[in-house]
Amino acid sequence: MKIDVVTIFPELFESFLKVGLLGKSVMEGKLQISIHNLRDYTTDRHHQVDDYPYGGGRGMIFMIEPLYNAYESLRRNDTFMILMSADGKLLTNARTKKISKKRHILIFCGRYEGIDERFKRFADMEISIGRYVVYGGEIPAMVLIEGVTRFLPNILDSEVVENETYSQGNLSDFPQYSRPREFKDMKVPEVLLNGNHKEIAKWREKQRKKI
């Protein structure tokens, strides 16, 4: 999979792409992620990416020209373009799994008061990570990248992915316990200690539905 991200703050992704399983996968070449500065796609000497909206209003919005220039430069025949947007479709496990089937993902991170509405017609999907607003689309883009890449077979074991939270509809994961058996009068459920895998599976399924 190839992922391209367009942002005005590429430095925010520096540590993100170096740590954990994601960083290891990038380093080993299992996953290609490139970060692009939107200012590199401007045509003026000040590298301006934003301007006041027509009709008035507070704040600035991204102009369509640098956005389109970046899109034209980075897109391929198999590109799936995503806009990170507060009013986009809510990110779910099912959506991340569907997106993980794409070969090339191009992500645009908004800032300020949004983007020129005309650019949205080039997007295959607008995505929100929740019904709230943050400073920009960079952290939501990181959330999307982590959610999507976890489904790639060469990064995580498929059994791990299939048995975690939300892997079966809207069910949460079951409670997990480790050593010691007892801590400050809090004990591990006895059913997990008897070695009866059928009973353990039944208990776990019941707990998932309860949660």
60-113 pLDDT, tens digit each = 999 999 999 999 999 999 999 999 999 999 999 999 999 999 999 999 999 989
Cβ(128)–Cβ(140) below 8 Å: yes
- Identify the helix (H) or strand (E) that includes residue 141: helix 138-149
DSSP state of 100: T
pLDDT in tens, 136-167: 999 999 999 999 999 998 888 766 666 565 55
- Domain definitions of the chain by residue range: 2-159, 174-210
Architecture of the domain delimited by 174-210:
Orthogonal Bundle (1.10)
Residues 158, 95, 109, 67: what is their CA dihedral angle, to the nearest 10 degrees?
110
Q: What is the pLDDT of residue 163?
A: 59
CA 64 from centre of chain? 24
| Number of neighbouring beta carbons within 10 Å of residue 118 | 10
DSSP SS3 for 128: strand
| Number of neighbouring beta carbons within 10 Å of residue 107 | 26
Q: What is the pLDDT of residue 211?
A: 81
Rounded Cα gap, residues 203 and 189, in angstroms: 10
Q: Which fold has domain 2-159?
A: Alpha/beta knot (3.40.1280)
pTM given for the model? 0.87
Instruction: Show the beta-strand stretches assigned E in 164-207.
Output: 182-183, 186-187
- Identify the helix (H) or strand (E) that includes residue 48: none
Phi, psi for residue 69 in degrees, rounded to 5: -60, -40
